[in-house]
Amino acid sequence: DSGVTQTPKHLITATGQRVTLRCSPRSGDLSVYWYQQSLDQGLQFLIQYYNGEERAKGNILERFSAQQFPDLHSELNLSSLELGDSALYFCASSRNQGFQETQYFGPGTRLLVL
């Protein structure tokens, strides 16, 4: 158990809908990272937040957005969902802001868009 929690574990929804994925980092970790894993795209880094502020941005679609709250949990919002958004979404956390140290991954949220 990495100490990173993600909810929900599974999510089934329809095209055009909006969903919110939630991530709670390990105690004391200030950075949260989001990743997408799909058969088509492989593993992709989406976005990173550090202590409430966006710090790095990867291949995140405009339909997707994220935020980190004062209690350091983070949410990834996916809107106008398409079939191709079906994937595993992982979050990870680390103590500091840079990509300089081990990241601890949550169990993931499996999203299925029908």
Partner 1 sequence: ELKVEQNPLFLSMQEGKNYTIYCNYSTTSDRLYWYRQDPGKSLESLFVLLSNGAVKQEGRLMASLDTKARLSTLHITAAVHDLSATYFCAALNYGGSQGNLIFGKGTKLSVKP
Interface residues toward partner 1, by CB under 8 A: 2, 35, 42-45, 48, 55-59, 90, 92, 98-108
| Closer CB to partner 1, 14 or 39, in the complex | 39
Q: How far apart are CA 9 and CA 111, in angstroms?
A: 9
CB of 2 to partner 1, least distance (A): 7
- Judged by beta carbon, residue 64 or residue 90, the one nearer partner 1 is 90
Indicate the SS3 state at residue 62. coil
- Report in angstroms how near the CB of residue 33 gets to partner 1 at its nearest: 8
Which phi and psi (to 5°) does residue 84 adopt?
-70, -5
Distance CA 80, CA 102 (A): 33
In angstroms, what is the minimal distance from the CB of 114 to partner 1? 21
Nearer to partner 1, 16 or 58 (CB): 58
8 Å CB contact between 32 and 68: yes
CB 44 within 8 A of CB 59: yes
Provide the β-strand partners of residue 35: 45, 90
State which residue, 85 or 109, has the beta carbon closest to partner 1.
Answer: 109
For the bound state, the minimum distance from the C-beta of residue 26 to partner 1, rounded and expressed in Å, comes to: 12
